[in-house]
Chain A
Amino acid sequence: MSELIIENVWKEYGDQIVLENVSLTIASRAFVALVGPSGCGKTTFLRMLLGQERPTRGTILLDGQPIPTEPGRDRGVVFQRYSVFPHLTVLGNVLLGKEFSNARYKAKLFGAARRNAVEEARKLIGEVGLSGAEQKYPAQLSGGMQQRLALAQALIMKPKVLLLDEPFGALDPGIRAEIHTLMKRLWHETQMTVVMVTHDIREAFTLASRVVAFERRRDRPEEKQRYGATITKDISIWPPRLAGVPSKFSPDRDGPIDSLGYSRDDPALSGE
């Protein structure tokens, strides 16, 4: 379970009100896309979910508990840039989370523990389509590959919530479509709650189970200072999508497969 409840959250920087009275309940296994014009506080909102910033007023609950005031392992994140560590290889990047949690002082694994972790990491690297690039450094990868790596790195922690801050914004359209497919598959497989900030409305409607729009209700220059943005649209996608649950209406190729009682390599399927 990983339900997020945001209640009457305000965020102010000095006199500037950024967000006002935001209330939102994000169901477990939902995929929420946050859209809105630049500077309307989407990223600020995500940072509060991450624990990087605190709301000025209001509460944010994860599974009924107030979220910790600093980032932690229950909430994974992928940023648009700087999400991976330039000094570690692909394998090292994915391994890092394991090493943090299993080696308190050395933060490095040896022997059998390392072999097990490497095996798990390799599997995940394969999942995101980076097999063969394990020993490369991020500077040797393309932008799309770096974001795949960032996803794998976050997913090895099995976070309850995955936060994405315009993760695919800098990618060109072909690569973006590919990574969307991957993202959908990972969401179904891991069944985590995802909150994504995006500028791309199309991306929002392709991936999300729910699209939430942030906007300033009053946006005249003299009002800008004292009125923040809030949720103006909250659209649930029809037919409903939920992680791990195949859609009944338009089963798309990226969704989980309906179990038909036989496996895909069943000879009966190919008519032999």
Chain B
Amino acid sequence: MRWINTRPGRGAQLTLLLLPFVLLIAAYSAGSVARLAENPSDKLLPNLAGFADAINRMAFLPDPRTGEYLLWSDTVASLIRLFAGLGISTVMALVLGMAIGMLPYLRALLSPFVAVISMVPPLALLPILFIIMGLGDASKIALIVIGVAPTMVRDLALKALELPREQIIKAETLGGSSWQIALRVVLPQILPRLITCLRLQLGPAWLFLIAAEAISSDSGLGYRIFLVRRYLSMDIIFPYVVWITLLAVVTNYILDRVRIAVFPWSELEKQA
């Protein structure tokens, strides 16, 4: 049988799914054991007990100085910034993307501009943002928006343009005005794409958030990682990285579920 036609069974699929994770953990454990055997106070690759201790300290014991549970207060601070940034980007993408996709005049006006703006490296703008908007949350949210919104706007504009011309014509023959067609034909059809687009932008959004937090902040997951870096606290950094990854993976999964639940037809179309 050809390789392209051999498929794993259910059990094999699960094993294959877990294999890379298990290998990664095994490789880390082996490295940790080797280093700790040589020097028990080595900080570079802590063992499981070290992690458990650090997680307990960060998540379940109040900080002696502020009385806060640092992992949770960091998470809340970061998520507020992340979702504020993504929320603003989503609204911008929806309004601008649809306008560019549907209205030739606005397309002529904005499409090249957005294309150029999306090429500006957002991190290069970070100093400007800090100077103009101060070191608070506003500049961090602005960085996420600048980093994420142009791509989303372009993606949604393309999606709106991609809608078959026949559909728009058909809607016109049903007496729809531009507004009505936007509301009932274009908007519902690009919303699933908006969610997918949002999922794809989760990675960049976290990147910009952590970069901004690393440079200047007093709370947040990125802030904490870069703070404890000074003390080589790998026992805190690793759990934080895993936690951030987990947050991103869960958000990604939930967004996809939401798409399928709210727009059942978008899944049908994919299979058709």
Contacts and interface: CB of A to CB of B under 8 A. Distances in A.
Contacts of B177: 100, 104
A88 B167 CA distance: 12
Contact of A83 (B170, B172, B179, B264): B170
A79 B170 contact: yes
B172 A137 contact: no
A96 B184 contact: yes
Interface stretch (A66-74, A170-178, A203-211): A66-74
A7 B245 CA distance: 68
Contact of A81 (B164, B184, B189, B265): B164
Given A107-B184, A139-B272, A100 B174 contact: yes
Interface string B165-209: 011011111111101100111001100000000000000000000
A205 B186 CA distance: 38
Given A81-B166, A96-B184, A108-B184, A72 B175 contact: yes
Interface in A83-139: 83-88, 96-97, 99-101, 104-108, 137-139
A159 B170 contact: no
B268 A137 contact: yes
A87 B188 contact: yes
B263 interface: yes
Given A87-B263, A105-B179, A137-B268, A52 B174 contact: no
B265 A139 contact: yes
Given A108-B184, A157-B174, A77 B167 contact: no
B171 A96 contact: yes
A153 B176 CA distance: 13
Nearest to A78: B170
Given A79-B166, A157-B175, A85 B185 contact: yes
Interface string A28-54: 000000000000000000000010100
Interface size band for B:
20 to 34
Interface size band for A:
35 or more
Contacts of A50: 169, 173
A96 to B, nearest CB: 6
B184 A86 contact: no
A76 interface: yes
A262 interface: no
B271 interface: yes
B269 interface: yes
A76 B173 contact: yes
A160 to B, nearest CB: 11
Contacts of B170: 77, 79, 82-85, 150, 153-154
A153 B169 CA distance: 13
B177 to A, nearest CB: 8
B176 A107 contact: yes
A182 B231 CA distance: 80
Given A107-B183, A139-B272, A82 B164 contact: yes
A185 interface: no
A85 B170 CA distance: 9
Given A71-B173, A154-B173, A107 B180 contact: yes
Given A79-B170, A82-B166, A86-B189, A97 B268 contact: no
Nearest to A75: B173
Contacts of B185: 85
B269 to A, nearest CB: 5
A139 B266 CA distance: 9
Contacts of B164: 81-82
A158 B189 CA distance: 26
A207 to B, nearest CB: 21
A157 B272 CA distance: 29
A153 B174 contact: yes
B268 to A, nearest CB: 4
Given A81-B166, A82-B164, A105-B179, A140 B268 contact: yes
Interface of B: 164, 166-167, 169-177, 179-180, 183-185, 188-189, 263-266, 268-269, 271-272
25 contacts: A50-B173, A73-B173, A73-B175, A76-B173, A79-B169, A83-B170, A85-B171, A86-B189, A86-B269, A87-B188, A88-B265, A96-B174, A96-B176, A100-B184, A101-B175, A104-B177, A105-B179, A107-B176, A107-B179, A107-B184, A137-B265, A140-B268, A150-B170, A157-B175, A159-B173
Given A100-B171, A139-B265, 9 more contacts: A77-B169, A77-B170, A96-B174, A97-B174, A100-B180, A104-B177, A139-B271, A139-B272, A140-B268
